[in-house]
Structure 1
Amino acid sequence: MSVLIGHGYLSVDLFFVLSGFLLSLTSSASFNNHLFIHDYKAFMYKRFCRIFPLYIVATLLYFFLFHFGEVESLIVNLTLLQGVFSFSNNSLISPGWSLTNEWVIYFFLPLAFYLTWKIRNKAWILILSSITIFIAISIFRNDFLNWGNSYSLQKIHGFNPVILFTRGPSSFLRTIADYLLGIFAYLSFERIKKRAVLLKYSAIPLVVFLFFKKTDILIILLMPFFMVHITERNVINRFLSSKVVYFLGLISYSLYVNHFLFIDTYDKISKSFGLNTNNYLIISACYVATGTLIFSTITYYAIEKPALKYLKKMGERFI
């Protein structure tokens, strides 16, 4: 069970693969045959509206709670470009590294849509490219490719397919590989759906691999097939379409940005009282889960939703 829970970091990869698929579904048509600056500006503005309002609030909150006085770091973090350079690799909020990766990828995504559409009949190239990237970042672990965690990588030699270790350039490569898989799922959607019998069983090895160590790459490679499968009307689809799951999906960005706030505050409170957190795992889990859910509901309706509505209206005047 600890191995299963330990694979939780792969939810980031699932998020990237899903983002690649959904953005392909909603935006790729604007770039399939051309690259117009107007479409590019509209795409980037939409992504800005989606990410930045809550991110800025969360970053400011973290600054005042945990990093007060680190003004230079705050300024860099507010641009969401920390991690682009090794000397500014510190994210004030823990999920910041993945949001930086996603934001940077957005700048190149329209070009990716344009180029991948040219090879839509050879979408297997995207799978092959992803595999090559994952193998490369699993073998080459050094100061140049991995920032901030080079010390922990010194004991690792040779091939080690644990994607958790990626930081710096290797983390950007990880994000690119995930997005390529999402675009693959989009380009091969109808073709994959025709093999519904095989898709039905894609969840089995995916779940099985979660109980084994060093299976990260295999799990990630199964994600696009599993995503196509759950678009069909089946038990998993009905579960994911339930009101509770739909609501959690609605506030998922808030959940992702906010959950470390409660993990870090619990750690800070525990240390101030000299408590051993291992003795209060149930209490800490309840605090983190309940606090994140309530706070994320508030931030979705108080920040995300109104900010998105306001910024979209503003964008109609300028874009």
Structure 2
Amino acid sequence: MAERREIRPLTGFRGVAALVVVTYHFFLAMGGTAPFLFDRGYLAVDAFFVLSGYVLAYNYDATFRAGADVAKYGEFLFRRFVRLYPAYIVILSLGVIKLAIKPGLGDFTAWDAFCNLFMLTGWGLHAKPVVGLSWSVSAEIFCYAAFPLVLMLGRLKAIGTGVALLGLALLIVTISKVGGGISGPMDVVSDVTVFPLLRALAGFSIGVILCGLAARRVAFSASVADLGTLLACLAVVAAATFDQTDLATYLCIVGAVFWLAADSSLSNALFANGPVYRLGEISYSLYLIHPLVFSAFGRPMLALQPVIGARTTLAIAYVVCVGATILLASLSYRFVEIGGKRALMQLRQSVLKPASR
């Protein structure tokens, strides 16, 4: 299962989305609300799902198109598992330690423990998550499991594609209306309903369809690709600032993924430069780690408010917390994500070798 050449702007965009989520959660953790551009930061999670669908379709469509079988499916799932599980289990362990130190560990049942261990807390199975953010990782696991079926959406003809997109649009509107969003219509997070799972599956499916559309479209000229990228990015900023329904912002995020995937010179300048691309590489660890960092460093710094004022305290706390998160995420990416993936791949090889003799 050889992967294709990476579309670097999409990786960088994932990094920006992760930083938006981190910023959004920082202000919530500090007891306030995020400033104008970040107050809908939860929608950056939907960007993760769309990006995931696009990138997986881009890399694996040819593999499954050549003929899907149990072996290919198992290999695909194993590759996704070793990509996600090492960092997840480390953060889960730290979460359990935190709960053991503080009251509340007894509130978790054996069912909760089972679902947390096997990344099932985002499936609406009434399982209480140890790590609040794990719902999205769990939902992504479900999308991986459904990937061969979802992949068929990217192969539909024009009419079928239109019908699929219309159906997904109606699903997203329905989720925004009846999903019980917390901070906004699409901030749908729950361990007792399937709405978060449907939210993830909708974004993932849209990403797969976008990849199918991109494969069939006429190649854009350099100037058109740059213009599309610029307008798409400006649209995301404008919608995130003024949109109260979340739907316009969601649509603009989808448009941004489509145009960034064109891999134009502007998209590379904006999202494939060294620092932004690096954020994309560490985005998964960045996403998982930041709540623990905010709890350990951010909230205690609130004690400085009477001395240096609220704004100065927030500014210092933001620099310290985000800086610490990026540092720890970089270490996690190198030693936990890459190291853990390598170890699991080697473990599988050592198990399979005796069986193949």
- Please confirm whether the aligned pair reaches a TM-score higher than 0.5, indicating the same fold: yes
**What residue is the counterpart of 1:177 in the other structure?**
202
Equivalent pair of 1:129/1:177 in contact (CA under 8 Å): no
Shift of 1:67: 4.7
Give, in whole Å, the separation in 2 of the partners of 1:165 and 1:12: 11
1:224 aligned onto 2:254:
yes
Give, in whole Å, the separation in 2 of the partners of 1:11 and 1:297: 20
1:76 maps to which of 98, 112, 115: 115
Question: What SS does the corresponding residue of 1:285 show, helix, strand or coil?
Answer: helix
**What residue is the counterpart of 2:281 in the other structure?**
250
Residue 71 of structure 2 aligns with an amino acid whose one-letter code is H
2:58 maps to which of 11, 25, 40: 25
**What residue is the counterpart of 2:77 in the other structure?**
44
**What residue is the counterpart of 1:236 in the other structure?**
267
1:199 maps to which of 220, 228, 239: 228
**What residue is the counterpart of 2:131 in the other structure?**
93
* TM-score using structure 1 length: 0.84
1:140-219 alignment runs, 5 A limit: 140-141=178-179, 162-167=185-190, 168-190=193-215, 191=217, 193-194=219-220, 196=224, 199-200=228-229, 201-219=231-249
Deviations 1:72-112 (CA, angstroms, capped at 9, x unpaired): 34443111112334431x22112111011111221111122
Question: What SS does the corresponding residue of 1:123 show, helix, strand or coil?
Answer: helix
Deviations 1:201-251 (CA, angstroms, capped at 9, x unpaired): 233322211111424222222223322322332323212121112221111
Calculate percent identity across the aligned residue pairs. 23
Equivalent pair of 2:140/2:200 in contact (CA under 8 Å): yes
Residue 284 of structure 2 aligns with an amino acid whose one-letter code is Y
Gaps of 5+ in 2: 1-33
Give, in whole Å, the separation in 2 of the partners of 1:119 and 1:28: 13
Deviations 1:251-280 (CA, angstroms, capped at 9, x unpaired): 111111111111222355358x69789562
Equivalent pair of 1:17/1:181 in contact (CA under 8 Å): yes
1:216 and 1:15, CA in 2 relative to 1: closer, same or farther beyond 3 A? same
Shift of 1:35: 3.0
Residue 138 of structure 1 aligns with an amino acid whose one-letter code is S
Aligned residue pairs total 301
Equivalent pair of 1:58/1:257 in contact (CA under 8 Å): yes
1:289 and 1:48, CA in 2 relative to 1: closer, same or farther beyond 3 A? same
1:259 maps to which of 290, 309, 316: 290
* TM-score using structure 2 length: 0.75
Give, in whole Å, the separation in 2 of the partners of 1:258 and 1:19: 20
Give, in whole Å, the separation in 2 of the partners of 1:297 and 1:311: 20
Give, in whole Å, the separation in 1 of the partners of 2:249 and 2:219: 20
Residue 227 of structure 1 aligns with an amino acid whose one-letter code is V
RMSD (Å) for aligned C-alpha atoms: 2.8
Question: What SS does the corresponding residue of 2:336 show, helix, strand or coil?
Answer: helix
**What residue is the counterpart of 1:158 in the other structure?**
none
2:156 maps to which of 119, 122, 125: 119
Gaps of 5+ in 1: 154-160
Residue 272 of structure 2 aligns with an amino acid whose one-letter code is S
Give, in whole Å, the separation in 2 of the partners of 1:293 and 1:163: 27
Residue 116 of structure 1 aligns with an amino acid whose one-letter code is L
Deviations 1:271-296 (CA, angstroms, capped at 9, x unpaired): 8x697895621122122101101111
Question: What SS does the corresponding residue of 2:197 show, helix, strand or coil?
Answer: helix
Give, in whole Å, the separation in 2 of the partners of 1:207 and 1:274: 33
Equivalent pair of 2:64/2:148 in contact (CA under 8 Å): yes
Q: Which deviates the most, 248-257 or 72-81?
A: 72-81
1:282 maps to which of 282, 307, 315: 315
**What residue is the counterpart of 2:96 in the other structure?**
63
Give, in whole Å, the separation in 2 of the partners of 1:183 and 1:56: 28
Equivalent pair of 2:286/2:326 in contact (CA under 8 Å): yes
Residue 76 of structure 1 aligns with an amino acid whose one-letter code is C
2:335 maps to which of 296, 302, 306: 302
